[in-house]
């Protein structure tokens, strides 16, 4: 190694420190909203961006400057970071050092705030604007569940548990302390107060804010209180609630209501197209995007961004890159303002399904696709071109509210001793707002939300039965762990189009209970004895108790909670 004289070495340290101060001119002005687009420095502002894993974990923090530099080299101009992390007062040292901002309500961790200073300074130096997220709906890094634990709210299994975050005064005071500690902080590296720093594009109050439908007004009121508190000390930054978006019709209306609030600067949606039949495939993905842009532009009349989107790191890297390109093409064809991929990061000791690794060559095709999209909107500003998106459309959906999905083409057969077992996840078709099957949890189950039907097809019994019994384990279907006490559903059971029974199924509890419907109608039984394929449907019609249906089967491989009498749905011929 070459040895420098001491004076020269000291001079080099001064020069090395200079770029941070010189970088204060980048970015220059605050991002503002004009109608349905953003404006910065007097020009329309569109972006391709990335969520950045730079705040949580030793390696993520150590690599923060390199992660930000990689995003900037790819031409990305906005990043999204999580300035959050809550733990217990007795949190271990490794958590205090690398993860949380707060060990208990009063245990402020200086290292987390120092890391935030470094991230903001580096983003400023690289010309990257940041959306700063201040809390998490989920338990990752503490989140809303940890605030509730601090308040000694132990009822973690009851319906509406998360809703209490938005209406507990002590929790609100704790959260406001964290928000103000950040908004009013002065960056120890740049010397700029956060509230005066145009590097920050927006304050996002929560990652994927959600709760029960009944508490939607409570969430809106909470957001307004928090946004007004920020606005009292920060007049220039954009503010958003931080919504996951919508899938169900009731969620769609609530998304519009939240985005319409004057305190909300723009609209936001998260999407992982491969995870839902509602957005899987190019045509459905395009309609999914169109519907959100339509509502943002012609109902809410604000800009729209996709704050998280991603495609799984599985199979061909080139195919994955092509999916990114197709997604971004539609976003800007519709005139939306931007999208942030999930997530730029270094490789870790655990695999993140949607990660875009900045230190691995295998993810270069994805990064090139993002870079091309960023360069394209820089050369030529996007403008709305989609003829589907127009004022006359209003709130009418551009994506179907219910989707038909098919799973098994062959009918179930194999009668044994007058019984036919039907695996519940092997339905012929499903038609719901959201439907699918899951082999996690306690029991394998098919689920359909709100209104719609499951159809199972089977070959009739080998001989004419005197009676037929349909035996199925059912509950209503609520997202989350539990349903409210009155959250049951009315399920019609039909056989070849004939209603054979109506069941009031119990509220969702993750395992359901057994129900049976008996058929004794001679004409219908005679029809069943004919060789051919028959249709069994479980339907939920619109009405006050249209809370979907879950159909339960065998225990899942990882289940450690034995359930009495699990098993497939059965048709019994006697």
Report d(CA 452, CA 540) in Å as an integer.
Answer: 5
Q: Which comes out higher in pLDDT, residue 488 or 6?
A: 488
pLDDT tens figures, 512-528: 999 999 998 888 898 88
* CATH architecture designation of domain 403-573: Sandwich (2.60)
Q: Name the band, by pLDDT with cuts 50, 70 and 90, for residue 27.
A: low
Q: What is the domain partition of the chain in residue ranges?
A: 37-393, 403-573
pLDDT tens figures, 172-208: 999 999 999 999 999 999 999 999 999 999 999 999 9
The domains spanning 37-393 and 403-573 adopt the same CATH topology: no
Token pair, residue 114, equals: 């120092």
DSSP 494: E
**Which class is domain 37-393?**
alpha beta
31-45, 107-121, 123-137, 471-485: range with lowest mean pLDDT: 471-485
Report d(CA 541, CA 547) in Å as an integer.
Answer: 9
The pLDDT value recorded for residue 520 is 87
Q: What is the 3-state secondary structure (H, E, C) of 254-315?
A: HHHHHHHCCCCCCEEEEECHHHCCCCCCHHHHHHHHHHHHHHHHHHHCCCEEEEEECCCCCC
pLDDT tens figures, 359-380: 999 999 999 999 999 999 999 9
254-263, 309-318, 364-373: range with lowest mean pLDDT: 309-318
Q: Name the band, by pLDDT with cuts 50, 70 and 90, for residue 9.
A: very low
- Mean pLDDT across the stretch 546-569? 88
b/e 320-348 (16+ beta carbons within 10 angstroms → b) = bbebbbbbbebbbbbbbbbbbbbbbbbbe
The pLDDT value recorded for residue 439 is 86
CB 75 within 8 A of CB 62: no
Report the candidate in 267, 343, 346, 344 with the shortest Cα–Cα distance to residue 308.
343
pLDDT tens figures, 112-136: 999 999 999 999 999 999 999 999 9
């Amino acid at each position: 190694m070459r040895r420098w004289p001491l004076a020269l070495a000291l001079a080099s340290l001064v020069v090395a420190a200079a770029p941070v101060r010189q970088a204060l001119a980048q970015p220059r002005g605050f991002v503002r909203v004009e109608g349905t687009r953003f404006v910065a420095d007097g020009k329309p502002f569109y972006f391709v961006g990335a969520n950045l894993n730079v705040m949580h974990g030793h390696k993520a923090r150590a690599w923060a400057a390199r992660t930000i530099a990689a995003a900037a080299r790819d031409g990305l101009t906005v990043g999204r970071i999580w300035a959050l992390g809550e733990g217990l007062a007795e949190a271990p040292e490794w958590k205090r050092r690398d993860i949380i901002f707060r060990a208990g309500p009063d245990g402020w961790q200086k290292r987390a705030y120092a890391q935030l200073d470094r991230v903001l300074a580096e983003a400023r130096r690289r010309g990257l604007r940041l959306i700063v997220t201040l809390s998490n709906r989920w338990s990752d890094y503490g989140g809303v569940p940890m605030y509730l634990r601090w308040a000694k709210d132990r009822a973690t299994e009851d319906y509406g548990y998360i809703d209490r975050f938005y209406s507990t005064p002590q929790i609100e005071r704790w959260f406001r302390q964290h928000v103000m500690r950040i908004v009013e902080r002065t960056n120890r590296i740049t010397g700029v107060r956060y509230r005066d720093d145009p590097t920050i594009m927006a304050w996002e109050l929560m990652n994927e804010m959600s709760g029960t439908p009944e508490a939607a007004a409570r969430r809106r009121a909470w957001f307004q209180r928090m946004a007004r508190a920020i606005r009292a000390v920060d007049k220039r930054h954009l503010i958003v609630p931080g919504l996951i978006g919508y899938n169900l019709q009731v969620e769609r209306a609530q998304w519009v209501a939240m985005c319409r609030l004057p305190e909300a600067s723009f609209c936001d949606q998260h999407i992982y197209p491969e995870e839902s039949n509602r957005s899987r495939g190019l045509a459905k993905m395009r309609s999914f995007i169109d519907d959100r842009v339509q509502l943002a532009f012609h109902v809410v009349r604000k800009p729209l961004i996709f704050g998280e989107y991603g495609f799984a790191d599985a199979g061909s890297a080139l195919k994955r890159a092509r999916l990114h390109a197709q997604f971004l093409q539609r976003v800007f064809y519709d005139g939306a303002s931007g999208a942030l991929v999930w997530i730029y990061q270094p490789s870790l000791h655990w695999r993140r399904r949607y990660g875009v690794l900045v230190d691995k060559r295998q993810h270069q095709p994805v990064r090139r696709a993002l870079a091309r999209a960023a360069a394209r909107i820089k050369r030529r500003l996007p403008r709305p071109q989609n003829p589907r998106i127009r004022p006359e459309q209003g709130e009418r959906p551009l994506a179907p509210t219910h989707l038909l999905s098919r799973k098994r083409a062959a009918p179930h057969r194999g009668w044994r001793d007058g019984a036919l077992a039907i695996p519940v996840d092997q339905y012929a078709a499903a038609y719901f707002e959201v439907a699918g099957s899951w082999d996690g949890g306690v029991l394998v189950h098919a689920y359909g939300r709100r209104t719609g039907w499951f159809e199972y097809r089977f070959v009739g019994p080998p001989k004419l039965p005197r009676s037929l019994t349909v035996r199925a384990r059912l509950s209503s279907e609520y997202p989350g762990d539990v349903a409210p006490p009155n959250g049951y559903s009315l399920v019609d059971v039909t056989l070849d189009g004939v209603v054979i029974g109506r069941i009031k199924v119990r509220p969702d509890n993750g395992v359901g209970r057994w129900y049976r419907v008996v058929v004794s109608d001679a004409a219908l039984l005679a029809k069943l004895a004919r060789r051919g394929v028959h249709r069994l449907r479980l339907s939920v019609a619109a009405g006050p108790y249209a809370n979907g249906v879950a159909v339960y089967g065998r225990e899942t491989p990882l289940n450690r909670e034995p359930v009495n009498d699990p098993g497939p749905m059965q048709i019994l011929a006697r």
